[in-house]
């Protein structure tokens, strides 16, 4: 077996499928790099699985002679998770694009990363949807002109490495398609990492986003614009290797080595295991033209691997509870019977007592809270109907929507009311407050005798019932920002509860409570 | 009002309530300009101050309704003619319960809060209700808007 693996070569991984990528596409060089890496891993060919989503980049599995799954858009990390959990012996690789992995599959990518299965994720970032012929993607630059942004992208682009770090990824790296040797090195390190290795490849789509990475990936200027990160080495770059990065506080600064007394010793030394989040955040933030764009391994950490933890958990639980089988579970005694058109739900006796106990305790807690013994809180459960009549609040003034503004004014001045309802016995159309009148009458030259109040009333936010509680009203008043809530009266017509009435109710309750000497509130 | 327990929120100073930014005009300002100021500040009253910025009056929507809208006064009339002079005010040390008492026994909806002669803000009936309701979070704020919608059992069953 050992011997046979050693014999594997690049050629063993080349498939006979016709390649559908455009000539010159950056995906080719990544494919080459992967075909270089695989034979070096000492893993039997049949143990490799490549899972992809949808996109040009996601056609990758066809061109590798391994097991593969050209799967569902954005769901490659999810399917790969299943593959790895079901058979941890496999070497699982996810191939995704900036669209596949960060648009439709953003959520899946994030959760795969935080789970930390021992697998590899390669995100081919060409800052565009290639397959669908050039729509902007989550990594497209602000202002980029594409088929779906003819006047320029308005959104901030996502930085895939920052997403990976925020998702607690344990291996975060970047490489450029024009430097396949470096890509190979990074992928090899990633493959050896125990945990999910996330590698972003800056890839050029020669058809729809030709110059996306030209400024940093072009061979002519690469050395000066890329910063090759090397573990334990100072951050040095430049064709003449004469430029470096120093830190001013937490801010990086480009310096010339040998100028102004700067030596290599002054430069920041790269540590992929640094636990300082500021350091790696700083690296991900650096980019051409203000800085060289870093490539290489940004960050690595040793953390438990999901499939192992899962296996241990299964062992542990099986040891204490025995092995259970799915059929038994499905045909078991734990079920609910739904009857009466869905109104009656009964729990079977087989449902574990512990579970129902828990929910009983919760129920009781909820019930306790709801029937609080605190007098004011308890009083908030008083229904509106009660305060409405107790306080002898007059039924509110109601006018037809056709009534003139003059009529409304006459009502306001004669009745000393804050607000008039607009409608009839059956329907409410709006409310009219003093403010609506004042602002319209004083600030505009309307004809108050002719203009109907429907022209200046405000729409109804909510109508409550007499059976609603004071608490409900307070809730609505707080949410709506209004000073009154119309109430549908039991025997027809509408009433109105105002903030002032609520305060009066609270005032009276507090006074009552104090009179009874029960002022301590727990 | 008898003795209050210090630890209750009824004894909290009104300074802790989110006061509203006041609309302020100088004496002699026209009624129209005062209303514009109210509209701009989205508040139902405007404070009137003298040259030394001392509070001398308050004008509310209610005042405007009763003293101006039905009258023959023109919009250029100075606010001084219809405002409420020497309005009630309070300091930030006023307690929540005292504020409740004040709104209970008076018709106005806005109470200027002053430190010395500086206006700190306006306490409104709404602001006070919101403050009180925020101290009853579970019972008032964290419930469905209609108590008939409260689930009788915990979720999931
Ligand atoms: C559910 C669904 N939505 C949308 C599409 C259309 N679609 C196909 S590929 C793609 C985006 C691919 O972008 P990326 O992952 O960057 O791949 P690239 O082609 O650039 O390598 C989209 C939106 C689809 N196939 N299925
Ligand atoms: S469209 Fe772009 S990304 Fe797709 S194969 Fe062609 S060059 Fe590559
Ligand atoms: Mg793409």
Task: Give me the half-sphere count of Cα atoms (radius 13 Å) on the Cβ side of residue B97.
Answer: 19
Q: What is the pLDDT of residue B35?
A: 95
Inform me whether the pLDDT recorded for A406 exceeds 60: yes
Q: What's domain A2-233+270-300's superfamily in CATH?
A: Thiamin diphosphate (ThDP)-binding fold, Pyr/PP domains (3.40.50.970)
pLDDT bucket at A33, cuts 50 / 70 / 90: very high
User: What is the nearest CA distance from B22 to chain A, expressed in angstroms?
Assistant: 16
Residue A158 to residue A148: CA distance in whole angstroms: 17
Of the segments A8-22, A146-160, A457-471, B63-77, which one has the largest average pLDDT value? A146-160
pLDDT tens per residue across span A413-438: 888 788 899 998 789 999 999 999 99
Common-topology check for domains A2-233+270-300 and A379-516: no
Q: DSSP characters for A201-214?
A: EE--BTTTBTTTTH
Q: Domain A379-516: which topology?
A: CBS-domain (3.10.580)
Contact (CB<8Å) B64/A442: yes
The structural domain count of chain B equals 1
Which of A147-161, A323-337, B45-59 has the weakest average pLDDT? Answer: A323-337
Task: Give me the half-sphere count of Cα atoms (radius 13 Å) on the Cβ side of residue A113.
Answer: 29
Query: B50 in a domain, yes or no?
Result: yes
Q: In chain A, which residues have their Cβ closer than 8 Å to the Cβ of B62?
A: 418, 434
Average pLDDT over residues A253-274: 95
**A472 interfacial to chain B (CB closer than 8 Å):** yes
Search chain B and give the residue with CA nearest A414.
B66
Query: B7 in a domain, yes or no?
Result: no
Burial class (CB in 10 A: 0-12, 13-18, 19+), A97: buried
CB nearest to B133's CB, from A412, A464, A478: A478
The alpha carbon of B63 and the centre of ligand 2 are apart by a number of angstroms equal to 72
Domain interval for residue B76: 14-140
Query: B59 in a domain, yes or no?
Result: yes
Burial class (CB in 10 A: 0-12, 13-18, 19+), A352: exposed
Mutate to test the interface with A, among B5, B126, B130 (most CBs of A within 10 A): B126
Q: What is the pLDDT of residue A54?
A: 98
Residue A446 to residue A453: CA distance in whole angstroms: 11
pLDDT tens per residue across span A147-166: 999 999 999 999 999 999 99
pLDDT bucket at B51, cuts 50 / 70 / 90: very high
In degrees and rounded to multiples of 5, residue A409 shows phi and psi of: -60, -45
Query: B149 in a domain, yes or no?
Result: no
Average pLDDT over residues A445-463: 90
Inform me whether the pLDDT recorded for A207 exceeds 80: yes
Query: B145 in a domain, yes or no?
Result: no
What percentage of residues in chain A have a pLDDT greater than 70?
92
Inform me whether the pLDDT recorded for A181 exceeds 80: yes
Q: Is the CB of A128 within 6 Å of ligand 2? A: no
Domain boundaries, chain A: 2-233+270-300, 239-269, 379-516
Q: What is the pLDDT of residue A371?
A: 61
Beta-sheet pairing, A226-228 with A293-300: parallel
pLDDT bucket at A520, cuts 50 / 70 / 90: very low
Q: What is the pLDDT of residue B135?
A: 74
pLDDT bucket at A6, cuts 50 / 70 / 90: low
pLDDT bucket at A393, cuts 50 / 70 / 90: low
Q: Is the CB of A227 within 6 Å of ligand 2? A: no
The alpha carbon of A234 and the centre of ligand 3 are apart by a number of angstroms equal to 33
Q: In chain A, which residues have their Cβ closer than 8 Å to the Cβ of B65?
A: 409, 412-413, 434, 437-438
Q: Which of B3, B52, B5, B20 is nearest to B123 (CA)?
A: B20
Average pLDDT over residues A204-232: 93
pLDDT tens per residue across span A492-505: 788 888 888 888 88
Q: Which CATH number does the domain housing residue B110 bear?
A: 3.10.580.10
Lookup: tokens for A248: 């001013």
| Mutate-to-test residue for ligand 2 from A140, A205, A211, A213, highest number of ligand atoms within 8 A of CB | A205
Lookup: tokens for B155: 């979720």
Query: B88 in a domain, yes or no?
Result: yes
The alpha carbon of A296 and the centre of ligand 1 are apart by a number of angstroms equal to 27
pLDDT tens per residue across span B87-139: 999 999 999 889 999 998 898 999 999 999 899 999 999 889 888 877 765 65
Residue A59 to residue A73: CA distance in whole angstroms: 12
Q: Which of A377, A443, A445, A448 is nearest to A408 (CA)?
A: A448
CB nearest to B143's CB, from A409, A433, A475: A475
Inform me whether the pLDDT recorded for A490 exceeds 90: no
Q: In chain A, which residues have their Cβ closer than 8 Å to the Cβ of B32?
A: 442-443
Query: B106 in a domain, yes or no?
Result: yes
User: What is the nearest CA distance from A403 to chain B, expressed in angstroms?
Assistant: 17
Inform me whether the pLDDT recorded for A179 exceeds 70: yes
Query: B153 in a domain, yes or no?
Result: no
**If you average pLDDT over every residue of chain B, what do you get?**
84
Average pLDDT over residues A437-459: 90
Q: What is the pLDDT of residue A5?
A: 47
Inform me whether the pLDDT recorded for A455 exceeds 80: yes
| Mutate-to-test residue for ligand 2 from A19, A25, A54, highest number of ligand atoms within 8 A of CB | A25
Mutate to test the interface with B, among A442, A481, A514 (most CBs of B within 10 A): A442
**If you average pLDDT over every residue of chain A, what do you get?**
89
Question: What ipTM was assigned to the predicted interfaces of this complex?
Answer: 0.85
Inform me whether the pLDDT recorded for A349 exceeds 90: no
CB nearest to B100's CB, from A372, A380, A506: A506
The alpha carbon of A173 and the centre of ligand 3 are apart by a number of angstroms equal to 18
pLDDT bucket at A360, cuts 50 / 70 / 90: low
Q: How many separate helices (H) and strands (E) can be counted in chain A?
A: 19, 20
pLDDT tens per residue across span A77-110: 999 999 999 999 999 999 999 999 999 999 999 9
Inform me whether the pLDDT recorded for B4 exceeds 50: no
Residue B151 to residue A372: CA distance in whole angstroms: 16
Residue B123 to residue B109: CA distance in whole angstroms: 8
The answer for residues whose C-beta is within 8 angstroms of residue B49's C-beta and 6 or more apart is B24, B25, B26, B27, B55, B56, B119
Inform me whether the pLDDT recorded for B6 exceeds 50: no
């Amino acid at each position: 077996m050992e011997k046979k693996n050693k014999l594997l070569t690049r050629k063993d991984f080349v498939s006979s499928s016709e390649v559908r990528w455009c000539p010159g596409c950056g995906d080719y060089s990544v494919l080459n790099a992967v075909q270089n890496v695989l034979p070096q891993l000492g893993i039997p060919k049949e143990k490799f699985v490549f899972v992809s989503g949808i996109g040009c980049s996601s056609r990758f599995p066809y061109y590798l002679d391994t097991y593969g799954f050209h799967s569902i858009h954005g769901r490659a990390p999810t399917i790969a998770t299943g593959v790895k959990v079901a058979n941890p012996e496999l070497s699982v690789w996810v191939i995704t694009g900036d669209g596949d992995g960060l648009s439709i599959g953003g959520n899946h990518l994030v959760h795969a990363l935080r789970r930390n299965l021992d697998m590899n994720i390669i995100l081919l970032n060409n800052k565009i949807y290639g397959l669908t012929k050039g729509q902007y993607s989550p990594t497209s630059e602000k202002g980029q002109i594409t088929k779906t942004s003819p006047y320029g992208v308005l959104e901030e682009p996502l930085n895939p490495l920052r997403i990976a770090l925020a998702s607690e990824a344990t291996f975060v790296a970047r490489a450029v398609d024009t430097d396949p040797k470096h890509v190979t090195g990074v992928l090899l390190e990633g493959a050896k990492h125990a945990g999910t290795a996330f590698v972003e490849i800056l890839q050029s789509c020669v058809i729809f986003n030709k110059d996306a990475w030209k400024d940093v990936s072009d061979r002519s200027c690469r050395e000066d614009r890329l910063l090759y990160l090397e573990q334990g080495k100072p951050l040095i770059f430049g064709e003449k290797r004469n430029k470096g990065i120093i830190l001013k506080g937490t801010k990086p600064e480009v310096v010339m080595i040998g100028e102004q007394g700067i030596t290599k010793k002054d430069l920041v030394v790269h540590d992929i295991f640094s636990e300082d989040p500021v350091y790696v955040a700083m690296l991900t933030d650096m980019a051409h033209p203000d800085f060289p764009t870093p490539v290489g391994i940004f960050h690595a950490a040793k953390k438990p691997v999901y499939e192992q933890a899962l296996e241990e958990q299964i062992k542990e639980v099986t040891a204490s509870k025995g092995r259970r089988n799915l059929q038994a579970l499905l045909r078991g005694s734990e079920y609910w019977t739904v009857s009466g058109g869905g109104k009656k739900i009964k729990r079977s006796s087989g449902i574990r007592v512990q579970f129902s106990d828990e929910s009983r305790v919760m129920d009781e807690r909820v019930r306790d809270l709801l029937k609080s013994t605190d007098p004011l809180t308890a009083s908030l459960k008083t229904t509106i109907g009660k305060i409405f009549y107790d306080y002898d609040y007059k039924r509110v003034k109601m006018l037809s929507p056709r009534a003139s503004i003059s009529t409304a004014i006459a009502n306001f001045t004669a009745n000393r009311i804050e607000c008039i309802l607009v409608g009839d016995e059956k329907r409410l159309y709006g409310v009219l407050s003093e403010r609506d009148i004042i602002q319209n009458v004083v600030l505009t030259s309307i004809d108050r005798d002719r203009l109907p109040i429907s022209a200046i009333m405000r729409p109804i936010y909510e109508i409550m019932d007499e059976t609603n509680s004071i608490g409900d009203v307070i809730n609505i008043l707080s949410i709506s920002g209004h000073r009154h809530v119309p109430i549908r009266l039991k025997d027809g017509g509408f009433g109105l509860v105002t903030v002032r009435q609520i305060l009066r109710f609270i005032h009276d309750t507090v006074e009552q409570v104090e009179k009874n000497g029960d002022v301590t509130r727990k | 009002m008898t003795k209050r327990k210090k630890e209750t929120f009824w004894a909290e100073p009104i300074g802790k309530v989110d006061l509203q930014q006041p609309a302020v005009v100088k004496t002699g300002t026209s009624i129209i300009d005062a209303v514009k100021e109210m509209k701009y500040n989205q508040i139902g009253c405007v404070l009137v101050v003298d040259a030394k910025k001392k509070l001398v009056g308050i004008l509310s929507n209610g005042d405007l309704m009763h003293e101006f809208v039905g009258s023959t006064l023109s919009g250029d009339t100075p606010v001084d003619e219809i405002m409420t002079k020497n309005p009630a005010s309070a300091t930030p040390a006023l307690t929540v319960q005292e504020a409740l008492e004040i709104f209970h026994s008076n018709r106005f909806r806005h109470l200027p809060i002053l430190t010395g002669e500086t206006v700190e803000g306006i306490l409104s009936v709404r602001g006070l209700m919101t403050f009180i309701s925020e101290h009853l979070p579970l019972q008032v704020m964290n419930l469905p808007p209609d108590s008939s919608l409260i689930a009788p059992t915990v979720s999931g069953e």
